[in-house]
């Protein structure tokens, strides 16, 4: 079939053979602007199917209607890398009977490619698609840049359904090519551009974030890794962006040229490329319009699959080549275990994403977090949920001091020599408590609502229902 | 030597800012109970600052409180609270005369005694921001406890009836006068804040100018200014190298029994030697 175009989502799902109990997968490149997951489940509901598993790389607040589909029985299981908003709240309160499986950005493609997570129908939101099923994310009214999180799904699912709002004559080169795609549906809109990418990711003005960022950059410099060929990943959060900005100044001053920058790509990472401070960007997800523009135009800005990015099943994912990664945390404990899944009351507010993949791969994993956030200490005796094991985390940078994992004594010496405010994580905990007092523990004790898988598929923690 | 390169103003009625005041690397924090605090929040701010002084870890950071000026009776309540809280120094706004400084000294001694702190424990920084204050700066600088003088250019230019400009020509006399009075008394001369929080270039220019005419430090209204101000008031590597060369030449000259030495073709006399030693001390080298 040269022309794979089908008139409606409902019809396409019928053609794909949608049946009770099947697994549908979705990617999160349209982030909080995504209309495809909701539209697909509405269509599935109208077909009267039930007991579906939704394997979405991430769930955002925009996916609130999913709650109703769970209540009605259309959906009975979720497998995600990250979730926030009403669906996460619903799960935390015990709204779904089956525990949600949380994976990492690398663990998800590993489990898809190994057959642990079989997908019946991969639903791929495609900002541009042609009639043969070639897809790209770089063009169209809902352009999102990279389609890295959809690639394993497209390769391994029994059936692949592309959903686009920008049918074109020919997509070449394609991010996902026609040999993988069974059908293409055109809809009015696959998403709200305002929720897909931001204009430009803005540098923070919060002075505390700037202090942490400066310490993080100084610590990276002191580690000795800031030399020619350095590779790094920074997040799109405030302190992470600011740290990247300090790093850029340092690289320029030192005349250092890095090898690659990676991860979710922002305008700030694009500047590294344009200014010749890195030779390549490996992009599994674009965060802003500058990044989308860059991936479309600059061949040094390379789209990569989540599998190549982070899967331990690929015999050498890109995360293994990382020198430095800057990460966040909602909690970190005295053993350096990090929680990014739940808040301190145990409510689900996120997920690993690439957190534990990059921490495991990078030579230097730097967690940046304020010591006190909303009156609560970030350093705790024991994290509510283990997302990333402490033996893969090297540094905790806070506004009041830096703690080095005791398994890195040489790093501690280097930071001491650089005059940085190094202290033990226990001392940081004491300082935090001297400000906040000892908070009453509110660790939830309900039934298991979430299972946290490490990147290799092993069970790392469980998330309990909150009352 | 207590350094006062950067003294950061923090509104005394903002719990978030008070809690984080010590993390920005400023040499000192000025918790403000005066202009930043609305009349109906004075009590709350006083309690917040007193408790913050008592519990917040602020290692290596001087804790200064700007109390209300002496023409308002609440200045005594402020004083009592912050002495009890454990402040290191008091900043007195609208400092105008020697008599006021002496009254403040007596009130501080009384408060210190009442709360069981050592007599004379607290320093005073005089905020000079009126024409009278500028003209009396010599008397103010030599009063007991006064260890620094800060120029307040906003109030001063308002009193002069002239606009405040980026170049600061209108405050050049006040700046010179204050520096001279402070240096004569052997206390710190602290420059007025740079108020455009986004103009980093202008800030650096302003700080370098202040340093070039003798100021020891600068007050700041934005935490984002701390790093640039500290850097500007810290000797550069080149200045340190020069200072080390001078001290080395002096030591060698002494060993060789030479009366006079020179560095880079320039004679090293007593003031040059003193400047070199001061430069080294500013970065912690003896």
Q: Note the Cα A450 to chain centre separation in Å.
A: 18
In this prediction, residue A344 carries a pLDDT of 86
Q: Which residue of A has its CA nearest to B25?
A: A211
Chain B CB contacts of A207 below 8 Å:
20, 24, 222-224
Q: Which of B17, B23, B230, B283 to mutate to test the interface with A (most CBs of A within 10 A)?
A: B23
Residue A260 and residue A246: Cα distance in Å, rounded?
17
CB-CB: which of A205, A211, A435 is closest to B19? A435
User: Which residues of chain B does A211 touch, with a Cβ-Cβ cutoff of 8 Å?
Assistant: 23-25, 223
Distance from CA of A216 to the nearest CA of B (A): 14
The string of DSSP codes covering A198-242 is BSSPPPP--HHHHHHHHHHHHHHHHTT--STT-EEE--SSHHHHH
A241 — pLDDT class (breaks 50, 70, 90):
confident
A38 CB burial (10 A radius; 0-12, 13-18, 19+) = middle
- Has residue A2 got a pLDDT over 70? no
pLDDT the model gives residue B1: 54
Kindly tell me the number of DSSP H helices and DSSP E strands found in chain B: 12, 10
Residue with tokens 């950071």: B61
At residue A115, the pLDDT reads 97
The rounded percent of chain A whose pLDDT value lies above 90 is 89
Determine the distance in angstroms separating the CA of B59 from the nearest CA of chain A, rounded to an integer: 10
Report the gap between the CA of B100 and the closest CA in chain A (Å): 36
- Measured N-to-C along each axis, helices B42-55 and B75-85 cross at an angle, to the nearest 10 degrees, of 20
B59 or A342: which leads in pLDDT: A342
A139-to-A128, A135, A143, A285 alpha-carbon distances in Å: 6, 10, 5, 14
Residues of A in contact with B25 (CB under 8 A): 211
- A139/B contact by beta carbon, under 8 A: no
Note the pLDDT tens digit of each residue in A151-181.
Answer: 999 999 999 999 999 999 999 999 999 999 9
Place of tokens 């207590």: B2
Tell me if chain B has a CB within 8 Å of the CB of A400. yes
Q: DSSP character for A286?
A: E
Query: A284: alpha, beta or left, given left = phi > 0 and alpha = psi -120 to 50?
Result: alpha
pLDDT in tens, chain B (286 residues): 578 999 999 999 999 899 999 999 999 999 999 999 999 999 999 999 999 999 998 888 999 999 999 999 999 999 999 999 999 999 999 999 999 999 999 999 999 999 999 999 999 999 999 999 999 999 999 999 999 999 999 999 999 999 999 999 999 999 999 999 999 999 999 999 999 988 999 999 999 999 999 999 999 999 999 999 999 999 999 999 999 999 999 888 888 888 778 888 888 888 888 889 989 988 888 6
Enumerate the β-bridge partners of residue A327.
A367
Closest by CA position to A435, among listed A372, A387, A360: A372
Percent of chain A's residues with pLDDT above 70: 99
CB atoms inside a 10 Å sphere around CB B52: 24
Which of these, A29, A9, A285, lies nearest to A121 by C-alpha position?
A9
Does A271 contact chain B (CB < 8 Å)?
no
SS (H, E, C) B58-76: CCCCEEEEECCCCCCCCHH
Judge whether A420 and A395 are in contact, CB under 8 Å.
Answer: no
B224: nearest CB among A207, A372, A399: A207
User: Each residue of A354-408: pLDDT tens digit?
Assistant: 999 999 999 999 999 999 987 889 999 999 999 999 999 999 999 999 999 999 9
d(CA B24, CA A207): 8
C-alpha distance from residue A421 to each of A212, A214, A397, A403 (Å)? 11, 12, 10, 9
At A446 the pLDDT is 87
Q: What is the pLDDT of residue A377?
A: 92
**Which structure tokens are listed for A363?**
């030579």
* Separation of alpha carbons A114 and B181, rounded Å: 79
Question: Do the Cβ atoms of B223 and A434 come within 8 Å?
Answer: no
Q: How far apart are CA B147 and CA B182, in angstroms?
A: 9
Residue A27: other Cβ atoms inside 10 A: 30
pLDDT at A42: 98
Mutation target for B interface from A435, A436, A437, A438: give the one with most B CBs within 10 A: A435
User: In the predicted model, is pLDDT for residue A1 greater than 80?
Assistant: no
pLDDT digits (tens, 9 = 90+) for A316-327: 999 999 999 999
Three-class secondary structure of residue A251 per DSSP: helix
Q: How far apart are CA A126 and CA A153, in angstroms?
A: 13
What is the C-alpha to C-alpha distance for residues A268 and A74, in angstroms, rounded to an integer? 41
Handedness of CA B245, B248, B253, B256 (dihedral sign): negative
Determine the Cα–Cα distance for residues A60 and A33; give it in Å rounded to an integer: 9
């Amino acid at each position: 079939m040269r022309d794979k175009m089908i008139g409606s989502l409902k019809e396409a799902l019928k053609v794909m053979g949608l049946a009770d109990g099947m697994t549908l997968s979705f990617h999160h490149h349209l982030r909080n602007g995504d209309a495809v997951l909701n539209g697909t489940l509405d269509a599935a509901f109208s077909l009267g199917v039930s007991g579906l598993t939704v394997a979405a790389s991430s769930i955002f607040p925009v996916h609130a209607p999913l709650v109703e589909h769970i209540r009605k029985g259309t959906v009975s299981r979720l497998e995600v890398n990250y979730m926030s908003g009403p669906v996460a709240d619903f799960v935390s309160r015990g709204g779904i009977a089956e525990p949600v499986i949380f994976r990492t950005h690398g663990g998800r493609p590993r489990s898809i490619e190994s057959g642990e997570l079989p997908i019946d129908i991969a639903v791929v939101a495609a900002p541009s698609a042609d009639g043969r099923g070639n897809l790209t994310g770089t063009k169209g009214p809902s352009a999102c840049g990279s389609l890295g999180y959809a690639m394993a799904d497209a390769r391994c699912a029994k059936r692949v359904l592309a959903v686009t709002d920008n049918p074109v004559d020919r997509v070449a080169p394609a991010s996902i090519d026609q040999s993988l795609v069974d059908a293409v549906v055109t809809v009015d809109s696959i998403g709200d551009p305002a929720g897909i990418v931001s204009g430009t990711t803005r540098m923070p003005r919060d002075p505390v974030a700037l202090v942490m960022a400066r310490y993080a950059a100084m610590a990276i410099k002191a580690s000795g890794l800031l030399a020619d060929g350095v590779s790094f990943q920074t997040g799109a959060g405030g302190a992470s962006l600011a740290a990247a900005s300090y790093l850029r100044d340092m690289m320029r001053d030192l005349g250092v040229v890095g090898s690659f920058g990676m991860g979710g790509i922002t305008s700030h990472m694009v500047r590294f490329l344009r200014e010749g401070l890195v030779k390549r960007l490996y992009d599994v997800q674009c965060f802003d319009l500058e990044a989308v523009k860059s991936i479309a135009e600059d061949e040094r800005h390379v789209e990569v699959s989540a599998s190549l990015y982070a899967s331990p099943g690929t015999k050498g994912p890109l995360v293994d080549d990382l020198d430095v990664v800057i990460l966040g945390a909602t909690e970190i404990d005295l053993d350096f275990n990090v929680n990014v899944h739940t808040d301190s009351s145990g409510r689900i507010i996120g997920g690993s994403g690439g957190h534990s993949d990059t921490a495991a791969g990078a030579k230097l994993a730097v967690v940046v977090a304020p010591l006190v956030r909303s009156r609560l200490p970030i350093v705790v005796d024991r994290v509510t949920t283990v997302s990333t094991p402490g033996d893969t985390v090297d540094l905790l940078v806070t506004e009041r001091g830096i703690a080095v994992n005791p398994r890195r004594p040489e790093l501690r010496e280097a930071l001491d020599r650089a005059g940085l405010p190094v202290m033990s994580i226990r001392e940081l905990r004491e300082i935090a408590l001297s400000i906040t007092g000892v908070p009453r523990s509110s660790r939830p004790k309900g039934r298991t609502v979430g299972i946290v898988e490490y990147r290799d598929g092993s069970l790392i923690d469980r998330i309990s229902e909150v009352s | 030597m207590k350094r006062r390169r950067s003294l950061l103003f923090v509104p005394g009625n903002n719990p978030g800012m008070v809690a984080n005041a010590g993390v920005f690397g400023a040499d000192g924090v000025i918790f403000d109970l005066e202009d930043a605090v609305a009349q109906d929040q004075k009590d709350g701010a006083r309690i917040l600052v007193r408790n913050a002084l008592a519990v917040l870890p602020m290692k290596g950071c001087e804790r200064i409180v700007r109390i209300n000026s002496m023409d308002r009776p609440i200045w005594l309540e402020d004083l009592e609270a912050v002495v009890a809280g454990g402040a290191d120094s008091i900043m007195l706004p609208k400092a105008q005369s020697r008599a006021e400084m002496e009254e403040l000294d007596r009130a501080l001694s009384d408060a210190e005694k009442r709360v069981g702190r050592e007599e004379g424990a607290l320093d005073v920084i005089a905020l000079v921001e009126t024409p009278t204050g500028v003209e009396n700066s010599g008397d103010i600088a030599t009063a007991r406890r006064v260890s620094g003088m800060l120029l307040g250019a906003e109030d001063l230019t308002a009193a002069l009836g002239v606009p405040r400009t980026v170049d600061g020509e209108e405050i050049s006399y006040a700046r010179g006068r204050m520096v001279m009075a402070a240096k004569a008394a052997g206390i710190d001369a602290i420059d007025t804040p740079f108020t455009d929080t986004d103009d980093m270039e202008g800030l650096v220019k302003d700080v370098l100018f202040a340093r070039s005419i003798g100021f020891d430090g600068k007050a700041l209204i934005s935490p984002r200014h701390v790093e640039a101000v500290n850097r500007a008031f810290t000797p550069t590597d080149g200045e340190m190298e020069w200072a080390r060369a001078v001290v080395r030449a002096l030591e060698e000259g002494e060993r060789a029994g030479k009366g006079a030495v020179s560095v880079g073709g320039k004679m090293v006399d007593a003031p040059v030697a003193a400047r070199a030693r001061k430069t080294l001390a500013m970065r912690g080298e003896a």
